[in-house]
Amino acid sequence: MGKSGSGKTSMRSVIFSNNPASLTSRFGATIDFEQNHVRFLGDLILNLWDCGGQNAFMDSYLTTQRSTIFKDVGVLIYVLDVESRETEKDIHYYNEVLAAVAKESEGAGVFVLVHKMDLVRGNREVAFDRKKRELLERTKDIPITIFGTSIYDESLYKAWSRIVHTLIPNAAAFSKHLTTFANACSASEVIMFERTTFLVVATSKVQSSAVPVPPPAAEPSDLSLTMDDKRYERTSEIIKEFKYSCSRLREEFHSLELELPEFTAVLDELTKNTYILVVVHDPTIETAAIQMNIRLIRDKFEELQADTS
């Protein structure tokens, strides 16, 4: 939910419909609410409600449609345009919506996205912190998680990966098995993505043993510090963009292997609805070996996923 024009329909289309950000300028305002079922990880079905933000709609959500809109909510995502100055009226809606969700759907997670961060001229962090402080002041008693986002960079994937992560029941089990797998094939890191959205489902713990020469001074935890800390969401964004390029030629992206001086990586299908990225820093390990290992764990992960339901 959020004010009209804040970017809700745009982000939904970028994440769930493989549309490029540039196409979103053609969208008209959403009338009333649009309901979408997206199959996520096979048996997990996300029921997305995109609620048009014009005042008339907001009023009716809070009154006549109150139980339709706010009952059985798993997660509320409230979107605010970073550039817009919030009027009394907007603050009022924001508070009312949060209160309604807290009351009608106890335990629902609340995420607030400070959106269109790309439009900030000057220091983004400062602008974000200011907005964040403002929001926290206004939000009494209800715990919220705040992200700065833009459809034009990886920040959107970071926020949405974290949001859906709270909805995946056995995320911890995935993570544990990925870590075991990483160990088995000397990978420094293994990441699991959902197939259509390319959001991150789970990651292995970084494998310090996969570092060819452990430097004397470095703690094992230093490894993750020194890889790009936006790598997960950047990978989602980059692959998503490339998938779009392929689709324009009526081709479909299927798998990727990569051997660079610094690392080797394989990105391949894991289960029917997930992809796996295996990153190896040991140059003696061949991509073919990684591919074979992936084939060997497919069944195991199909099983794990079946437990999701």
Partner 1 sequence: MACRSGKTSIQRVVFERLPAKQTFYLDTSTRINKYRFNSVIPLEIWDCPANVTLEQLSPLSQFSSIIFVIDIIDKFSGPVNKLVDWIAVFYAEKPDINVEVFAHKEDAITVDDYKLETFGNLQRLVVESLADALAPPTDDQNSPSYFENLQIPVSFHLTSVYNHSIYEAFSKTIHKLIEPLSYIEDLLNIFCANSQCAKAFLFDTNARLYVATDTSPVDSGTHNLCCDYVLMLNQLAPLYKYDLYSTSIDANKPEVLPTGRSPTRWASSSTRLKPDSTLTYWQVTPNMAVVTLLRTELFQTRRGLIEYNLVFLREGIQEILEVENLRQRGELTNVASPTSPEKDS
Ligand X SMILES: Nc1nc2c(ncn2[C@@H]2O[C@H](COP(=O)(O)OP(=O)(O)OP(=O)(O)O)[C@@H](O)[C@H]2O)c(=O)[nH]1
At residue 273, what are phi and psi to the nearest 5 degrees?
-125, 20
Nearest to 97 by CA among 87, 82, 108: 108
Nearest to 74 by CA among 201, 194, 196, 166: 166
Site for Mg ion in 8-37 (CB under 5 A): 9, 30
- Give, in order, the Cα–Cα distances in Å from 208 to each of 56, 135, 211, 224, 263: 55, 39, 6, 9, 15
Applying CB under 6 A, does 9 fall inside the site for ligand X?
Answer: yes
Calpha distance 129→191 (Å, rounded):
30
Applying CB under 6 A, does 19 fall inside the site for ligand X?
Answer: no
**Residue 304 Cβ vs partner 1, minimum distance, rounded to whole Å:** 25
> Near ligand X by CB under 6 A, which window of 40-48, 145-153, 198-206, 278-286?
145-153
Count how many residues are written for the chain. 309
Applying CB under 6 A, does 10 fall inside the site for ligand X?
Answer: yes
Out of 112, 135, 223, 276, point to the residue binding partner 1 (CB under 8 A): 223
**Residue 159 Cβ vs Mg ion, minimum distance, rounded to whole Å:** 18
3-state secondary structure of 265: strand
Q: What is the dihedral of CA 77, 159, 130, 86, to 10 degrees?
A: -30
Residue 5 CB contacts under 8 Å (≥ 6 apart), including other chains = 29, 53, 81
Binding mask 255-284 for partner 1 (x = CB under 8 A): xxxxxxxxx-x-------------x-xxxx
Q: Which does 60 bind (CB under 5 to 8 A by kind): ligand X, partner 1, Mg ion, none?
A: none
- Give, in order, the Cα–Cα distances in Å from 109 to each of 21, 43, 73, 90, 187: 27, 21, 9, 21, 34
Applying CB under 8 A, does 83 fall inside the site for partner 1?
Answer: no
**Residue 9 Cβ vs Mg ion, minimum distance, rounded to whole Å:** 3
**Residue 159 Cβ vs partner 1, minimum distance, rounded to whole Å:** 19
Site for ligand X in 241-300 (CB under 6 A): none
Applying CB under 6 A, does 145 fall inside the site for ligand X?
Answer: no
Out of 48, 53, 110, 147, point to the residue binding ligand X (CB under 6 A): 53
Site for Mg ion in 29-88 (CB under 5 A): 30
Angle between helices 8-16 and 155-165 (to 10 degrees): 80
Out of 16, 18, 20, 30, point to the residue binding ligand X (CB under 6 A): 30
Angle between helices 55-62 and 88-104 (to 10 degrees): 30
Residues that bind partner 1 (CB under 8 A): 22, 118, 152, 188-189, 211-213, 215, 217-219, 222-223, 225-228, 230-231, 234-235, 238-239, 241-242, 245-246, 248-249, 251-263, 265, 279, 281-284
